[in-house]
C-alpha cells in the first residue's frame, strides 16, 4: 500500500515526532542524548531551517521546526546519523525507528504556542521531573541557557518576554497534539534501572543477547515485578508475542 502523502504546511512550521520501533528506548545514557543534539546542531549550521522547541524523551523525540522546504532531508540526515551511531554503539542491527517520522503542519499562532507547551510538558506529564528542570529539552534555552539549537525570539515575542513565557509554560492545558496518546513513559526509566541492577547489564537491550533460558527467566522476573508486556517490549526490544508467550499473558 502506498504511503499517505505528507501534509505540507502553508507556514513552514511542523511538529515532528520520531519514535523508536515498537516504542523501544532510543537514548540509554547521556552520551546518546548529546550525540543526537550534536547532529541536530551540525545540521542547523548547514541547512536552512529553525528549531523553536525540542524534547528528547527516552523512546521518542519531539521537534517544532520551521522549514520552507527539505523537511524530509533534514530529518533523515539527523535521524539517520543517530541510528548508525546507536546500532554501532549497542551492537544491534535493524531499524531503530517506528517507520518514517510523523509530522503535522502548524498553521496558526494559537496552535504554535500549544505545541511549544506540549513539547516542553512531556517530561512532567511522564513523571520524570518538573518541566523546567529537564535537561534534554529546549525549555532551558528559553530560561536563559542558550543551546545553539533553539531559536527563541519568536516564541518570546508571542508570549511577552521571559516573564510571559514563564507564566505561559506553567499551564497544563491539554491539547490534541500529534502523539497525545503517548503518556506512559516514566516507568521505562525505572524498568531500565531494575534490569541494570538485577542482571548487571548496561541496558535493557542486552537481554536479547542472553541464552534462551536466561532471557526467559529475565522476562518472567520482570513480569512478576508488575511490569507490563508493552513496557518490557519497549525497554528490551524483544518482540511482544515472544514476551507474551513466555509470561502466558495477552498484551
Output the pLDDT for position 248: 66
User: 96, 115, 127: which is closest to 179 by C-alpha?
Assistant: 115
CB 126 within 8 A of CB 186: yes
Q: Considering the domain 13-169 in this protein, what is its CATH number? A: 3.30.70.1290
Q: Angle at Cα 162 formed by Cα 161 and Cα 167, nearest 5°?
A: 100
The yes-or-no verdict on residue 130 having pLDDT over 60 is yes
Encode 154-192: b = buried (16+ Cβ within 10 Å), e = exposed: ebeeebeeeeebeebbeeeeeeebbeeebeebbbbeebb
- Which helix (H) or strand (E) is 138 found in, with range? none
Residue 4 has pLDDT above 90, yes or no: no
pLDDT band with cut points at 50, 70 and 90 for residue 173: low
The residues spanned by each domain of the chain are 13-169, 186-247
**pLDDT tens per residue, range 29-39:** 999 999 999 99
Across the range 83-96, mean pLDDT stands at 93
Mean pLDDT of 185-211: 84
Instruction: Identify whether the C-beta of residue 120 lies closer than 8 Å to the C-beta of residue 169.
Output: yes
Q: Does the CA dihedral 217-220-225-229 come out positive or negative?
A: positive
Tell me if 18 sits within 8 A of 79, measured CB to CB: yes
User: Average model confidence (pLDDT) for the chain?
Assistant: 87
What is the rounded distance in angstroms from the CA atom of residue 38 to the CA atom of residue 23?
A: 23
- Sheet containing strand 13-19, strands side by side: 50-56, 60-66, 13-19, 102-105
**In this structure, what C-alpha cell is assigned to residue 156?**
518570546
Question: All 3 cell numbers of residue 245?
Answer: 508467550
Distance from C-alpha of 165 to C-alpha of 158, rounded to nearest angstrom: 9
Statement: residue 118 has pLDDT above 50: yes
Question: Is pLDDT above 70 for 165?
Answer: yes
Helix (H, G, I), strand (E, B) or coil at 25: coil
Round to whole Å and give the CA distance between 229 and 238: 10
pLDDT per position as a tens digit, 45-65: 999 999 999 999 999 999 999
Amino acid at each position: 500500500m502506498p504511503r499517505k502523502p505528507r501534509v505540507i504546511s502553508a507556514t513552514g512550521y511542523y511538529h515532528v515526532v520520531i519514535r523508536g520501533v515498537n516504542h523501544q528506548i532510543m537514548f540509554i545514557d547521556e552520551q546518546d542524548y548529546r550525540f543526537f543534539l550534536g547532529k541536530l546542531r551540525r545540521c542547523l549550521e548547514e541547512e536552512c531551517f529553525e528549531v523553536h522547541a525540542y524534547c528528547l524523551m527516552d523512546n521518542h523525540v519531539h521537534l517544532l521546526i520551521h522549514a520552507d522546504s527539505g523537511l524530509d532531508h533534514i530529518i533523515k540526515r539527523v535521524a539517520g546519523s543517530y541510528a548508525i551511531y546507536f546500532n554501532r554503539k549497542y551492537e544491534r542491527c535493524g531499524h531503530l525507528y517506528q517507520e518514517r517520522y510523523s509530522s503535522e503542519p502548524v498553521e496558526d499562532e494559537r496552535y504554535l504556542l500549544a505545541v511549544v507547551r506540549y513539547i516542553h510538558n512531556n517530561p512532567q506529564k511522564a513523571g520524570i521531573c518538573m518541566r523546567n528542570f529537564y535537561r534534554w529539552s529546549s525549555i532551558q534555552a528559553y530560561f536563559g541557557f542558550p543551546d545553539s539549537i533553539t531559536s527563541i525570539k519568536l516564541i518570546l515575542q508571542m508570549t511577552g518576554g521571559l516573564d510571559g513565557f514563564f507564566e505561559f509554560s506553567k499551564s497544563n492545558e491539554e491539547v490534541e497534539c500529534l502523539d497525545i496518546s503517548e503518556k506512559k513513559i516514566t516507568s521505562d526509566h525505572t524498568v531500565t534501572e531494575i534490569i541494570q541492577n538485577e542482571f548487571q547489564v548496561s541496558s535493557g537491550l542486552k537481554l536479547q543477547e542472553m541464552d534462551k533460558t536466561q532471557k526467559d527467566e529475565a522476562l518472567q522476573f520482570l513480569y512478576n515485578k508488575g511490569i507490563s508486556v508493552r513496557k518490557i517490549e519497549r525497554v528490551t526490544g524483544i518482540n511482544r508475542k515472544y514476551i507474551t508467550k513466555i509470561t502466558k499473558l495477552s498484551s
